[in-house]
Amino acid sequence: MRIVLDVMGSDGAPGVEVSGAIEALEEFGDHVEIVLVGDRALMAPELARHGALPAGRLHIEHAPDHVPVGAAPSSVLRKHPDSSIVRGLQLHKEGHADAFVSAGSTGAVMAASLFVLQALEGVDRPAIGTMLPTARQPVLMLDCGANVDCKPHHLVQFAHLGRIYAEDLMGRTRPRIGLLNIGEEPEKGDELALEAHQRLSRESGLRFVGNIEGRELIQGSCDVVVCDGFCGNVVLKFYESVAQFIMGMLRAELGELAERPEIDEVFRTLDYSEYGGAPLLGVNGVSIVCHGGSSPKAIRSAIRVALQSARSSMVDHIARELSSKEPV
Amino acid sequence: MRIVLDVMGSDGAPGVEVSGAIEALEEFGDHVEIVLVGDRALMAPELARHGALPAGRLHIEHAPDHVPVGAAPSSVLRKHPDSSIVRGLQLHKEGHADAFVSAGSTGAVMAASLFVLQALEGVDRPAIGTMLPTARQPVLMLDCGANVDCKPHHLVQFAHLGRIYAEDLMGRTRPRIGLLNIGEEPEKGDELALEAHQRLSRESGLRFVGNIEGRELIQGSCDVVVCDGFCGNVVLKFYESVAQFIMGMLRAELGELAERPEIDEVFRTLDYSEYGGAPLLGVNGVSIVCHGGSSPKAIRSAIRVALQSARSSMVDHIARELSSKEPV
């Protein structure tokens, strides 16, 4: 398997990406190769810091440009065709690699992925899925920001995308699908949730378990929870910040006691970097988006997700199942 | 000041409410009276448990009915005119009390408040405001569930309601108003957020500080954050559950160590019961909604909020400022 990694995306680029790639090569063994895409001159000193590199398993692809922070996603292809994001996705599209990973701006990675890889037949809106740590096992939430204004049938498609990901990547059998909502009863919610609830209830091939309230998310009472990308993004970012906030307060109150391994263990459960990147589901390829604030560990985790996605039949599975759905 | 307390609403009704009322009378002194509204027969043993009661400061108003869990909010007035919620609100409306507090179903309290107290002139949609604990001082978020499908001008009204509450009740000077959104830039967001951002930017009398992302909420970088009631409700319930979840994990890992006062202190900061009830802002009166799972302490805190609201000129202040706004 060969993974393309955009090294120009994270807040600590390219050092963080290079370190993450080298950690991944050590962890995932001989059958994995990584192609680093980005500015060769900027990569060189980072690579030199790591000394002897795994021969034949780490490749460099020079991309003279990168997508600057704040660039409009819609302009990425036109204004930055030689950026690390676009070049990296093209390598994947052309079959030179099996998956693409980037910690660049989510909007830019998504727009470029849609343009270069294209949406699969039967998928109107590819969606970003994110693993939320819960009291039981992680829950996949989607959409987490790719689509802000959604129609009910988009949420039904998200449910199928999430179901297939949960089956193929998360090892869940007959995944339970929940709808993020403000009450348990089917008649609760805004217009989108009301109609989505009805459609999900009668959709074949889905194990719909009903509405999931904000307070239930953390219980892990389903495998996949669907919502529009606005609410999903707000909840996701809020969750990430709450754990850090509570840890900060505990440190202030407890002093050295906060460094105990037991407390560390709790916060590791809440640490997004353990779960790595978020897949963009519904495109014709594997595109994994990482947090801009990623650590080398988070990059390594994202490479793991990319590997698992490429090895599984996830994309073919989505293509097969979604293309046979009736158009809405 | 005289506060009407519905004693039939919480999960532990009427015992929790009666205990909370007696604690409040002890705490808030001689110039406060409380009217308990509910089933007299159910209240009697709870009152008896408390022994000698403050003479002349605790009153009983019998209401033969209560609104059952799951009742449709729209049917409360028609089907339960003799319920503790409706009777209690009428006492307030008729001037026999200065504020109303209930831990009954939010939908039922809101619908009955709207019907009995009525919306103030210039307020299309009264909104529920909730205090969120943050790294600095608490932030008022609204709407937290009264209005699921909002228009941009509703969010502008929420901003004014929140501003006045922050000035009059939270002691904030020129409160900073944020818009919950999925990015910092004005061009980020769904249709609602995009248009609301523009309107808030040009609205006079508001100190609009721009978009607030999910991760910024916890920073306390503004005083009031506005959003539609769907997203607000999801975030609020999620927040309540996260603190409990993390505390549970810490207990499991730390054992007795988790009982240390320093850890307790951290979780007290996150404890909604410290902040008490959520005001329904924009009605012609003071109506405070409590969590169904309220403790006596939470009821006492809600009575404090009711007292402060009644003592301040908040309702007159809202009436004066909102009625002079141009219709949208």
Q: What is the pLDDT of residue B257?
A: 72
Which pLDDT score, from 0 to 100, does residue A228 have? 96
Q: What is the DSSP string of B279-302?
A: EEETBSS-EEE--TT--HHHHHHH
Chain B interface mutation, best of A141, A182, A213, highest count of B Cβ atoms under 10 Å: A182
Q: What ipTM does the predicted assembly reach? A: 0.91
Per-residue pLDDT of A101-130, as tens digits, reads 999 998 999 999 999 999 999 999 999 999
Contact A246 B243 (CB under 8 A): yes
The tens digit of pLDDT for each residue in A24-74 reads: 999 998 889 999 999 999 999 999 999 888 888 999 999 999 999 888 888
* Cβ-based contacts of A246 with chain B (< 8 Å): 243, 246, 266, 270
Contact A263, B254 (CB under 8 A): yes
How many percent of chain B have pLDDT more than 90?
Answer: 75
Nearest CA in chain A to B270: A246
Interface contact B266-A260, CB threshold 8 A: no
Q: Identify the pLDDT of residue B326.
A: 67
Residue A327 has pLDDT above 70, yes or no: no
pLDDT digits (tens, 9 = 90+) for B89-112: 999 999 999 999 999 999 999 999
Tokens of B123: 């307020």
Cα dihedral value B140, B144, B150, B153, nearest 10: -20
Write the CA distances from B188 to A196, B85, B181, B202, B279, integer angstroms.
24, 41, 7, 17, 30
Q: For chain B, how far is it from start to end, CA to CA, in angstroms?
A: 36
Question: Residue B249: its chain A contacts at CB < 8 A?
Answer: 135, 266, 269
Find the helix or strand (DSSP H, E) in which B107 lies.
Answer: helix B106-117
Q: Please, what is the average pLDDT of chain B?
A: 92
Q: Which of B143, B246, B260, B269 to mutate to test the interface with A (most CBs of A within 10 A)?
A: B246
Backbone angle region of A90, left / alpha / beta, with phi > 0 → left and psi within -120 to 50 → alpha: alpha
pLDDT digits (tens, 9 = 90+) for A153-193: 999 999 999 999 999 999 999 999 999 999 888 988 999 99
Q: A326: pLDDT confidence band, cut at 50, 70 and 90?
A: low
Share of chain B above pLDDT 70, in %: 98
Question: Chain A residues with CB inside 8 Å of B253's CB?
Answer: 262-263, 265-266
CB–CB contact B234 A180 (8 Å): yes
In this predicted structure, what is the pLDDT of residue A272?
Answer: 64
| Residues of chain B found within 8 Å of residue A135, distances taken between Cβ atoms | 245, 248-249
CA A183 to chain centre: 27
Percent of chain A at pLDDT > 70 equals: 98
- Which letter does DSSP use for residue B208 in this model? E
- CB within 8 Å: B241 and A191: no
Query: What residue of A is the nearest CA neighbor of B136?
Result: A245
* Residue A94 C-alpha, separation from nearest chain B C-alpha, in angstroms: 32
Q: What digits encode the pLDDT tens for the residues B117-159?
A: 999 999 999 999 999 988 888 999 999 999 989 999 999 999 9
CA distances A221 to A133, A164, A225, Å, are 12, 18, 10
Residue B150: partners with Cβ closer than 8 Å, 6 or more residues away: B125, B143, B192, B228, B229
CB within 8 Å: A246 and B245: no
* Residues in chain B closer than 8 A to A234 (CB atoms): 180-182, 213-214, 231, 234-235
What are the CA-CA distances from residue A130 to residues A118, A276, B108 (Å)?
Answer: 21, 9, 35
In this model, does residue B272 exceed pLDDT 80? no
A274-297 pLDDT, tens digit each: 677 899 999 999 999 998 889 999
Per CB-CB distance under 8 Å, the chain A contacts of B269 are 249
Which of B241, B247, B260, B291 would best serve as a mutation to test chain A binding (most A beta carbons within 10 A)? B241
* Contact pairs from chain A to chain B, CB under 8 Å: 147
- Comparing alpha-carbon positions, the chain B residue that sits nearest to A147 is B190
DSSP string, B9-28: -STTTTHHHHHHHHHHHHHH
Question: What mean pLDDT is reported for chain A?
Answer: 92
Residue recorded with tokens 């037991």: A262
Contacts of A189 in chain B (CB under 8 A): 148, 230
The pLDDT score that the predictor gives to residue A324 is: 83
Q: Residue B233: closest CA among chain A residues belongs to which residue? A: A182
Q: Which residues touch A259 (CB under 8 Å, ≥6 apart)?
A: none
Say what the pLDDT of residue B327 is. 62
Q: Return the residue in A266, A270, A272 with the most chain B beta carbons within 10 A, the one to mutate for interface testing.
A: A266
Tell me how far apart the alpha carbons of residues A83 and B306 are, in angstroms, rounded to a whole number. Answer: 58
CA distance linking residue A278 with residue A142, whole number of Å: 10
**Contact (CB<8Å) A237/B230:** no
Q: Given this model, what pLDDT does residue A275 score?
A: 72
CA distance B113 to B83: 13
The Cα of A249 is separated from the nearest Cα of chain B by a number of Å equal to 6
pLDDT tens track for B36-50: 999 999 999 999 999
